[in-house]
């Protein structure tokens, strides 16, 4: 994700928040469903997992500059893409404008994922 696509929004005032809460309460009372677009600005945490490894506290304390820590993934194996710690895709690392990026190679069907 590039920095130019991220926007900072100002925190709504208490009066604005109260107004929004009142209008949402009105929708709930009428049995009206909120449109999915209502969630468009909800922040999500996207992570790309290179691999996982186990280490004891003793080994951790002995790590120093230049130490190598082995992970469970093989070189060339797809990386896991997670949103809010839930697997959504797998992909491969690419470089775009001197920055790391990920090309999605497999989108996960939510019905097939064990949470």
In a domain, 6, yes or no: no
- In this structure, the answer to whether residues 15 and 66 fall within a common structural domain is no
Give the model confidence (pLDDT) of 53-102 as tens digits.
Answer: 999 999 999 999 999 999 999 999 999 999 999 999 999 999 999 999 99
Q: Kindly tell me if the per-residue pLDDT of 10 is higher than 60.
A: no
Q: Domain tally for the chain?
A: 2
> Can you tell me the distance from the alpha carbon of 16 to that of 69, in angstroms, rounded to the nearest whole number?
50
Output the six-digit token pair for 25.
Answer: 């309460």
In a domain, 36, yes or no: yes
CB 70 within 8 A of CB 53: yes
CATH assignment of the domain containing 79: 2.30.330.10
- In this structure, the answer to whether residues 55 and 38 fall within a common structural domain is no
In a domain, 77, yes or no: yes
Q: What domain range is 34 assigned to?
A: 11-42
> Can you tell me the distance from the alpha carbon of 92 to that of 88, in angstroms, rounded to the nearest whole number?
14
- In this structure, the answer to whether residues 31 and 80 fall within a common structural domain is no
In a domain, 3, yes or no: no
- Which pLDDT score, from 0 to 100, does residue 35 have? 84
- In this structure, the answer to whether residues 19 and 54 fall within a common structural domain is no
């Amino acid at each position: 994700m590039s920095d130019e696509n991220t926007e900072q929004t100002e925190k709504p005032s208490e009066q604005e928040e109260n107004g929004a809460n009142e209008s949402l309460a009105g929708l709930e009372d009428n049995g009206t469903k909120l449109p999915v677009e209502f969630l468009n600005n909800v922040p999500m945490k996207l992570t790309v997992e290179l691999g996982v490894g186990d280490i004891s506290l003793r080994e951790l304390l002995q790590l120093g500059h230049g130490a190598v820590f082995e992970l469970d993934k093989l070189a060339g194996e797809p990386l896991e893409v997670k949103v809010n710690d839930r697997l959504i895709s797998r992909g491969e690392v690419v470089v775009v404008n001197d920055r790391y990026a990920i090309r999605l190679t497999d989108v996960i069907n939510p019905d097939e994922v064990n949470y």
